[in-house]
Amino acid sequence: MKIPTLSNTATVDEIDSAIDEFGAVIVADLVGAEVVDRLRADLAPWIATTPAGSRSGDPEWQEFHGSRTVRFNGVVAKSSTFVDVCLDPTILGVADRRLIPDGGSTQISDTQVISIGPGEQAQYLHRDQTLWPWFNQYLPDGPEVTVIAMLALSDTTEANGATRVVPYSHLQADRPELFDPSGSVPAEMSAGSVLFFSGKTVHGGGANTTTDTWRTCLHIGYMLGWLRSEEAHPLALSSETAASLPRRAQELLGFAEYDPAPREGGRLWLVDFEDPARILAD
Ligand SMILES: O=C(O)CCC(=O)C(=O)O
């Protein structure tokens, strides 16, 4: 079995349907080579100097992060190109399509470079919606809480640690540890391709069995706008830089209010009843 792959002319509807059916889909060559090159160049100093392994002392985090994987957040502050990627009409369109019916406005939970080095073991299987574990009691139904766009910054292969996805796991309620890793399939793709998957889909980073090839991807987690994000973007990015971003990027990164309209509900993330984006602009 293989993860379905669509061409970069696929519509948001087609991508959304493929995620509904399989739990994940690859859109080949979605992000142009020029954008990928700029991202790689912007991020190269951090990729080169961030030590592999976890910075956490917590053994569970250490196992999750791996010992030969370079990871860091704060991509919005490290690459001005990131904004083009997170606003890409297809990438953001898929996130909005899956999240807005349930939640109002979409936000970004995390921006994470994950570069899996030679000799790394497979990451344990998990669901990204477990960041907010309360929702797991409603599996496999319940709202879509988070949608992930995993952009390949290098070619990804089974050998170098391509993300492993358990097909149809978004339609099941079993805990991730009950899934046999041998039933997972690798998201092999060329640089510039994007693996989309549901927060309900069981997956994990693959083992890197090569001796000399790094697998580098950018994980962008979009989430329901009224949840708390994994990353505290307003502490990673200066207010001056945030003020220069397009309004939609400010909304995605928590520099603007959450407005549920046209649905019922309160406005959230205000300063004295005011939209923070208006204060940023002063
Ligand atoms: O690196 C990968 O392929 C997946 C990583 C992942 O799922 C995670 O760290 O949450």
Contact present, 255 and 279 (Cβ < 8 Å): no
Residue at 155 is within a domain = yes
> Model confidence at 262, in pLDDT bands (50, 70, 90)?
confident
* C-alpha to C-alpha distance for 108 and 197, rounded to whole angstroms: 15
Q: Is the CB of 221 under 6 A from ligand 1?
A: no
Q: Is the CB of 117 under 6 A from ligand 1?
A: no
Atom number in ligand 1 closest to CA 203 = 7
Residue at 277 is within a domain = no
Domain that holds residue 97: 5-231
Phi-psi region of 161 (alpha: psi -120 to 50; beta: other; left: phi over 0): left
Task: State in Å: Cα 161 to ligand 1 middle.
Answer: 10
Mean pLDDT of all residues in the chain?
95
Residue at 24 is within a domain = yes
Instruction: Identify the pLDDT of residue 157.
Output: 98
Q: Is the CB of 233 under 6 A from ligand 1?
A: no
* C-alpha to C-alpha distance for 226 and 180, rounded to whole angstroms: 34
Instruction: Identify the pLDDT of residue 104.
Output: 64
> Model confidence at 263, in pLDDT bands (50, 70, 90)?
confident
* C-alpha to C-alpha distance for 1 and 214, rounded to whole angstroms: 25
Residue at 257 is within a domain = no
Q: Is the CB of 65 under 6 A from ligand 1?
A: no
Per-residue pLDDT for 275 more than 90?
A: yes
71-126 pLDDT per residue, tens: 999 999 999 999 999 999 999 999 999 997 755 689 999 999 999 999 999 999 99
Residue at 60 is within a domain = yes
Q: What is the CATH number of the domain that holds 158?
A: 2.60.120.620
24-47 pLDDT per residue, tens: 999 999 999 999 999 999 999 999
For the chain, what is the domain count? 1
Residue at 209 is within a domain = yes
Residue at 172 is within a domain = yes
Per-residue pLDDT for 12 more than 60?
A: yes
Contact present, 26 and 5 (Cβ < 8 Å): yes
Nearest-5° Cα angle at 199, 229 to 26: 115
Task: State in Å: Cα 131 to ligand 1 middle.
Answer: 13
Mutate to test the pocket of ligand 1, among 123, 128, 160 (most ligand atoms within 8 A of CB): 123
Q: Is the CB of 204 under 6 A from ligand 1?
A: yes
Atom number in ligand 1 closest to CA 206 = 3
Per residue, the 3-state secondary structure of the chain, as one string, reads CCCCEECCCCCHHHHHHHHHHHCEEEECCCCCHHHHHHHHHHHHHHHHHCCCCCCCCCHHHHHHHCCCEEEECCHHHHCCCHHHHHCCHHHHHHHHHHHHHHHCCEEEEEEEEEEECCCCCCCCCECHHHHCHHHHHHCCCCCCCEEEEEEECCCECCCCCCCEECCCHHHCCCCHHHCCHHHCEECCECCCCEEEEECCCCEECCCCCCCCCCEEEEEEEEEECCCCCCCCHHHHCCHHHHHCCCHHHHHHCCCCCECCCCCCCCCECCECCECHHHHHHC
224-248 pLDDT per residue, tens: 999 999 999 999 999 899 999 999 9
Residue at 254 is within a domain = no
> Model confidence at 282, in pLDDT bands (50, 70, 90)?
confident
Nearest-5° Cα angle at 119, 117 to 122: 85
Instruction: Identify the pLDDT of residue 230.
Output: 97
Per-residue pLDDT for 171 more than 60?
A: yes
